[in-house]
Chain A
Amino acid sequence: MSATPFPAGPIHHCRGRAVVVPGDDIDTDRIIPARYLKCVTFDGLAEGVFADDRRERAGDHPFDRAASQGAAILVVNRNFGCGSSREHAPQALMRWGIRAVIGESFAEIFFGNCLALGIPCLSADHDTVLAIQAAIAAHPGALLQLDLEPPQVMLEADGERFGWPLELAAGPRRMLVSGEWNGTAQLVAHDAELRATAGRLPYLAGFAPA
């Protein structure tokens, strides 16, 4: 499925085809049905991405259309990734090939899970997202160029270029472009501060006399 390597290091851009999955409140059970969570590694998840929706649509799901094959940029609408906290959802998208998501809004846990994998979730207002989706529909298979600094996306087709500004909060943006989105080492490095915080929490000492 995914031919490109998984995200690593600083992330400034993403270039590739787009796949549009329209609709609000698309939950993580739909992105990856629970039966695919019976695993102890994430390795095989690509085959489960949108499995039930794709079966229902019998080949006409956006992830099955010819123009979407090899897509790296997923374009969605509001509250994408709501529901279960399963990181299997962005893992499945990533293993299918998705490297960035554009939408009107994202559920918080999903946004954080994507960030931890180096997958930026960028947002834009309703009209802008509809315009991006319409442009992709009008130019099937066109290449998109997504940048984080400043956040924007451009579509190139038939010798024309269309561009739209996007939003990504300063914190996540800095983490992605600095390559510090996978922050375990940073957390572990603050052990002295961690001890100081722990010392202020009486429940850790069984509420012993001060």
Chain B
Amino acid sequence: MSAGTLYDKVWELHRVADLPGGATQLFIGLHLIHEVTSPQAFAALDDLGLSVRHPGRTVATVDHIVPTTSQARPFADPLAEEMLATLEANCARHGITLHGLGSGRQGIVHVIAPELGLTQPGMTVACGDSHTSTHGAFGAIAFGIGTSQVRDVLASQSLAMGKLKVRRIRVEGTLQPGVYAKDLVLHVIRTLGVKGGVGYAYEFAGPAIEALSMEERMTLCNMAIEGGARCGYVNPDAVTFAYLKGRPHAPAGEAWERAVAWWSALASGPDAVFDDEVVFDAATIAPTVTWGITPGQAIGVDEAVPTLEQTDSDERPIAEEAYRYMDLRPGAPIEGLPVDVCFIGSCTNGRLSDLRAAAAVARGRQVAAGIKAFVVPGSEQVAAAAEAEGLDAVFRAAGFEWREPGCSMCLAMNPDRLEGRQISASSSNRNFKGRQGSASGRTLLMSPAMVAAAAVSGHVADVRRLIATPSSPEPAPTPA
């Protein structure tokens, strides 16, 4: 059993009561809501005659259903309009802050909470969205919940939870140029499997993790859930504190010093005990691409689609299903596979550093003929920052569309979706069958820089070669 880890410490601090069924009642420090998983929770609260216990500890935004072309109200889709109107009414009635469209603070829930300084080390964070694991990047214990649990947090600011085991994923060495946190996490999931993390929290540690920026740590923790781990986290350190300082909801003045002391003490100590440990070497990881229908079906861009003989017997049925669905031949190289749509964005990779990495590849190049390529900033703040440094102009000049913030084509609850059997290069997090809105649509997950490389090449390409080859000189970006 784990002891002395950040997970153990945060768990103990937030323990309210031991419940008769054996679960622990856990205080939730930050509750994030959005338009998809909250309306039924508010309705259930009404049915029970309960009010919101701590309206100040719940924060709302709208992300899943918003169009990324025109965000004028009412939306063209009446169902989407009804969902947003319901969220607005629920927030107004219960005194919950809603960062709505045009507020300057709207965006994907897992992008805005960190950038506003709402997410802080040592908190418990819950949201009706599985990618809530993102917030673990700050040394928070953050996990996705269902709508009945959203109701419970609204009603009681707490949840009935079972304690997880803790697996330390120690990453030695240094990532190569052109290899990003996305590649690292796809490599981890490829190795440990999509169910390897079930029952665990993942602690990401070691020199390669400490060297990551906060945005890269968010990408990493975001996809812990794709490896089956309901939460993933990184111990808070100087990188964490530097990111937080000065953000709207971060402590300031003398409170800042007290906060840093409290946060620092929560990190897993040198004597911490883990239930399991796995070690990786960052230097061996190549830009990584999924070829199949689970995030674990991933290979280095320089590898071939695995054959059945190369696949564990347990994994063969889903490999065969993936060959059929993706129309890929075992043993075929992934590099050179033509794509139709290139999507840069999502809670995994829709932050400023992601857009910078993609723009560095797009700069001075052109999207290949016949390819639809678009960039969806993760938030209004990301959009403004990117525009201030001219990234939108770089993308537009290269033939990408520059869109408004939202979840977009990650999950197809808005107008952005694949059609028919289109194949996408996508910086999002799930390559499930039908995930991007077409029941036969196909998704290749990769880093934003790799998506940009695919867009300008017309097919899956190794971004390391494009980084090594300077593109043609580019005119100075037009100020936004």
Contacts and interface: CB of A to CB of B under 8 A. Distances in A.
Whether chains A and B associate is: yes
Contact of A108 (B39, B40, B65, B198): B198
Nearest to A86: B37
Interface string B1-45: 000000000000111110111110101010000001101100100
B39 A38 contact: no
Contacts of A187: 25, 152, 155-156, 158-160
Contacts of B259: 202-203, 207
A20 B57 CA distance: 42
B238 interface: no
A56 B421 CA distance: 13
Contacts of A15: none
Interface stretch (A28-36, A131-139, A149-157): A28-36
Contacts of B255: 206-208
Interface stretch (A4-12, A63-71, A193-201): A193-201
A90 B37 CA distance: 13
Nearest to B230: A108
A83 interface: yes
Contacts, number: 219
B84 to A, nearest CB: 10
Contact of A35 (B152, B158, B262, B412): B412
Contacts of B21: 171-172, 174-175, 178, 180, 183
Contact of A107 (B20, B198, B321, B437): B198
Nearest to B263: A203
Contact of A41 (B43, B128, B157): B43
A52 to B, nearest CB: 4
B272 interface: no
Interface residues of B, number: 84
A204 interface: yes
B246 to A, nearest CB: 15
A24 interface: yes
Interface stretch (A112-120, A140-148, A158-166): A112-120
B137 to A, nearest CB: 17
B145 interface: yes
Given A40-B83, A56-B439, A116-B146, A194 B262 contact: no
Interface in B228-276: 228, 230, 251, 254-256, 258-259, 262
A107 to B, nearest CB: 7
B45 to A, nearest CB: 9
A25 B194 contact: yes
Nearest to A38: B79
Contacts of B159: 187
Contacts of A171: 21-23, 162
B155 A184 contact: yes
B324 to A, nearest CB: 11
Contact of A105 (B198, B258, B440): B198
A79 interface: yes
A13 to B, nearest CB: 19
A207 B251 contact: yes
A202 B130 contact: no
Given A24-B314, A37-B413, A193-B25, 13 more contacts: A34-B412, A40-B39, A79-B228, A85-B37, A85-B129, A87-B147, A108-B230, A109-B144, A113-B147, A187-B25, A190-B25, A207-B251, A207-B259
8 contacts: A78-B314, A84-B430, A171-B21, A184-B151, A188-B156, A190-B156, A202-B258, A202-B262
Across the A-B interface, give the 10 residue pairs with the lowest CB-CB distance, nearest first.
A171-B22, A87-B146, A116-B148, A113-B146, A187-B156, A85-B144, A52-B439, A207-B255, A175-B21, A40-B39
